[in-house]
């Protein structure tokens, strides 16, 4: 029996997860995997999500979860829930000052407010701060994985349009990692 669980960190995603969980309970098709939504802090996943997983998907959340300690805790939780031969699939925003002067300006302008280079405050159309966003260098992301006992098997960097700024280019990282003690693979970074 396949099972999937989702932990959402962002309030609008939490509301959508709750709505879907309520409207879709018991409505999945025979043979389809069961999907369970859990709403909460992704760095504080507790007993409500028990067991080990073959795959942990971390899609851009590491870029918006908070400071270095919370990023490390997120990866630590992912590793703790991972089966020995399981994989973490992670996407993260990449440092983009080399291809986008507007990001370079955001980094400079917001560093005094965030206390961290390449962390800026994402703002809504009205200028209201939504959340801090961090853009990683390859070394920084690799070091985070390593510090939390994860070994990167593959790391790709892609130039894409930013989701919040679709008319602007940005770098994004896509990583596949496993537990360091279970991985006999060599690191392949591209």
The pairing of strands 129-134 and 119-123 is antiparallel
CA distance 141 to 93: 10
- For residue 14, what are the CA distances in angstroms to 7, 20, 40, 45, 87? 8, 10, 8, 14, 25
pTM of the model: 0.79
CA distance 37 to 21: 6
Place of tokens 């918006």: 64
Which tens digits make up the pLDDT trace of 25-68? 555 555 555 666 566 666 665 555 666 889 989 999 999 998 99
The pLDDT score that the predictor gives to residue 186 is 41
CA 54 from centroid of its chain's CA atoms = 17
The answer to whether 156 and 173 have CB atoms below 8 angstroms apart is yes
The pLDDT score that the predictor gives to residue 81 is 86
Choice between 49 and 105, residue whose per-residue pLDDT is larger:
105
- For residue 36, what are the CA distances in angstroms to 24, 77, 141? 10, 18, 29
The pLDDT score that the predictor gives to residue 113 is 96
Choice between 152 and 13, residue whose per-residue pLDDT is larger:
152
Whether the predicted pLDDT of 188 surpasses 50: no
CA distance 159 to 173: 9
The pLDDT score that the predictor gives to residue 52 is 82
Contacts of residue 161, Cβ cutoff 8 Å, sequence gap at least 6: 167, 168, 169, 170
Choice between 11 and 42, residue whose per-residue pLDDT is larger:
42
Whether the predicted pLDDT of 24 surpasses 60: no
The pairing of strands 169-179 and 82-94 is antiparallel
Cα three-residue angle 64-113-98, rounded to 5 degrees: 65
Which tens digits make up the pLDDT trace of 148-178? 999 999 999 999 998 778 899 999 999 999 9
- Rounded to the nearest integer, the mean pLDDT of the chain is 82
CA distance 97 to 137: 11
């Amino acid at each position: 029996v396949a099972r999937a669980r989702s932990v959402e960190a962002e309030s609008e995603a939490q509301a959508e997860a709750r709505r879907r969980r309520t409207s879709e309970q018991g409505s999945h098709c025979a043979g389809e995997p069961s999907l369970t939504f859990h709403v909460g802090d992704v760095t504080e996943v507790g007993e409500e999500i028990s067991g080990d997983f073959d795959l942990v998907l971390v899609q851009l959340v590491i870029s918006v979860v908070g400071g270095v300690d919370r990023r490390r805790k997120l990866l630590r939780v992912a590793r703790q829930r991972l089966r020995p031969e399981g994989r973490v699939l992670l996407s993260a925003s990449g440092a983009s000052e080399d291809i986008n002067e507007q990001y370079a300006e955001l980094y400079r302008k917001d560093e005094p407010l965030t206390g961290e280079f390449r962390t800026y405050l994402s703002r809504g159309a009205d200028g209201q701060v939504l959340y801090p966003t961090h853009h990683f260098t390859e070394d920084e992301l690799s070091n985070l994985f390593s510090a939390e006992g994860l070994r990167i098997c593959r790391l790709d960097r892609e130039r894409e349009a930013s989701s919040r700024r679709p008319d602007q280019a940005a770098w994004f990282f896509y990583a596949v990692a496993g537990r360091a003690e279970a991985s006999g693979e060599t690191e392949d970074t591209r």
